[in-house]
Amino acid sequence: MKVLIVEDEPLAAKRLESLVQEVEPEAEVMDRLESVRALVRWWQTNQDTGRSAPDLLLMDIQLADGLSFEAFQQVNITTPVIFTTAYDEYALKAFKVNSVDYLLKPIEKDELELAIGKFKRNQQTSTPENLTKVLEAYGVKPVAYKSRFLLKQGGRFEVVDTRDIQYIYADEKVVFLVTSENRKFIVDETLDELEGKLDPKLFHRINRKYISQLGAIERIEPHFNGRLRLWLHNRPTDEEIFVSREKAEAFKSWLDS
């Protein structure tokens, strides 16, 4: 079991890590973070390098730079969470109603053991739906990925569902979206902007020019110097599409997730 601790008090974080290792000797504490900013940066880096997400988050509610809930507005965190707090004023009723676990400080070993035991039994200490309800109680809106695009085609607008997208690519300074029916639309956003708006479980930034949907990848072959060569549905057979050596491992981890 991989655990990530988010706690801005060094002694409390160290004690929590010791308690985790006492309760669950085989657990791996991936890191100890102390702020919302550090959590967001860690999560983004983790995704970019293709590392697996933690199995469980132990997260203090009130951090030095704000409420930990704010991280959910910036990155898509679906990992189960056990919140910790020294203040029972933080709408603990909402936690009970929505079945999200919390622990009051100072945290005792037996309480942590019960919480982790519950997590291990059903792996649902906080489902995305329940967690969303708690965040909404604090006025926090979690990050939401685009489900459709409104795009202009000729003299009219059309709605394209993200599930129908095969890939998005840049040609010079123009960005095109290609559907499963091989229809092409111009998108008035950059690939960098689109990358943050598309669900990373379904879409991946292959290189500077392409964002591909999982189902659009037709064939993958190892290439010279650690690169990967890809074939995408509906792309010209003579066009070469590569994943660089630096991004190959993250790409393979995405495919194997």
For residues 245 and 193, give the distance between their C-alpha atoms in angstroms, rounded to a whole number.
24
Which H or E element spans position 250?
A: helix 245-255
Q: Would you state the pLDDT for residue 123?
A: 60
For residues 155 and 255, give the distance between their C-alpha atoms in angstroms, rounded to a whole number.
38
Every domain of the chain with CATH number 3.40.50.2300 lies at 2-137
Q: Would you state the pLDDT for residue 21?
A: 94
Every domain of the chain with CATH number 2.40.50.40 lies at 148-255
Architecture of the domain whose range is 148-255: Beta Barrel (2.40)
Decide: pTM greater than 0.75: no
For residues 94 and 98, give the distance between their C-alpha atoms in angstroms, rounded to a whole number.
6
Q: Is the CB of residue 51 less than 8 Å from the CB of residue 28? A: no
- Vertex 178, ends 173 and 184: CA angle to 5°? 75
DSSP per position, 167-208: EEEEETTEEEEEETT--EEEESS-HHHHHTTS-TTTEEE-SS
Instruction: For residue 132, give the nearest of 66, 81, 166, 174 by alpha carbon.
Output: 81
Q: Would you state the pLDDT for residue 235?
A: 84
For residues 94 and 131, give the distance between their C-alpha atoms in angstroms, rounded to a whole number.
10
Contacts 24+ apart (CB under 8 A), 98-104: 98/130, 98/131, 98/133, 98/134, 99/124, 99/126, 99/127, 99/130, 100/125, 100/126, 100/130, 100/131, 100/134, 101/125, 101/126, 102/61
Q: What is the pLDDT along the chain (257 residues), one digit of tens a residue?
A: 899 999 999 999 999 999 999 999 999 999 999 999 999 889 888 876 667 789 899 999 888 888 888 888 888 787 888 888 876 655 555 455 444 577 888 899 999 998 888 888 766 545 556 666 666 666 666 667 888 999 988 888 999 999 999 999 999 889 999 999 999 999 999 998 898 788 888 899 999 999 999 999 999 999 988 899 999 988 876 788 999 988 888 888 888 76
The CATH class given to the 2-137 domain equals alpha beta
**Encoded tokens for 128:** 């995305």
